[in-house]
A = this chain, B = another copy of it.
Amino acid sequence: MLRPTTKDLAKAAGVSRATVDRVLNGREGVKKNTVDRVNLAIKELGFVRNIQAANLARSQRYRFVFALPRSGDLFLKEIVRHIDEASETFATDLVWCDVVHIDENDPHSISAFLGTLDPNETTGVAIMAPESPQVRDAIFRLQERGVAALPFIADQSAMEEHWVGTDHHAAGATAATLIGRFSHASEGSVLVVSESMRSRDSLERRIGFDAEMNKHFPGLRTLPSLETYGDEERAERIIHNSVNNNPDLIGAYVLSSEARVPLTILNDTMNSDHLIKISHERTPFTEAALRNGDLDGVIAQDPGHLVRSAVRKLKAITDRLVAKGSQERIRVEVLLRTNI
């Protein structure tokens, strides 16, 4: 039994193909009664619109924009690399991807940028930016103008059905598990370093980390978050301080995606061989650190998977197939030396 076509639909509903077309594409000028008849036939026949044929007819193409922070962060570089790769992989699906850099901390400029996007040129946008009212409103306006929008990695709580990223709470808790179980000390303190605690991701990781530590490793004391603000001198000063004040250090958790600076400083400051060190994201640096033992574990989200998932979700949204993409959950990965 072949897939029913619009012709079959028309016959089943007792209307013409023109009317079926009007209903399918939400054109007006059709009586409610007729609309219902057609929708009933759709259900009865199990009609599914052939998207390839539809795209052919409209010569539709998908152009997706990834709006990413400007930072030179290694993780971001990986993301960009995978976007280029995905551009090739999805070329046969008529999908093109571009990267645009935004000022992540300037909601106003982000909102302005989103406002400039033309639905005729841009099919959808994946946005990696911290939550803010301006951005949220801009996203809503964008959607109203017919551009698909998808929070990417950084989540916008306003639209939780549509977003691509991991469960930060679980990620933080997993970091805690690794430190707690890898460490053979039953007492001691744990350094927590972050670039900034202003983002929701960082906060949630920290909460998950503390919850797990308190519950399962009560002997271990988690120190207040050290915020580097991306400033090396400042990082050096505060890490140095903390190391001196806490001689019972048994581990360190770097919860921002840029692990290089804090870890390098830590290693320079003290002999940190006995510390359990956990950081985030697979990058050339963290891979190398895992291999040579500078890191004991990495909590990661697969950048390739993130990107491909975002593309598929954006495509599903523009094709109006919202329901399906749900199973695309991004896992909290644990990377050890042996499974890089």
Interface residues of A, Cβ cutoff 8 Å to B: 3, 48, 50-53, 55-56, 85, 88-89, 91-92, 94, 170-171, 173-174, 176-178, 181-182, 184, 208, 212, 296, 302, 304, 319, 321, 324, 327, 331-339
Contacts and interface: CB of A to CB of B under 8 A. Distances in A.
A179 B173 CA distance: 20
Contact of A56 (B52, B89, B173, B208): B52
Contacts of A319: 92
The interface residues of chain A, by DSSP majority, are classed as helix
A261 B134 CA distance: 56
B48 A321 contact: no
Contacts of A304: 327
A144 B212 CA distance: 56
A334 B331 contact: no
Given A92-B319, A181-B182, A331-B333, A173 B338 contact: yes
Contacts of A212: 338
Contacts of A174: 336, 338-339
A302 B304 CA distance: 15
A321 B182 contact: no
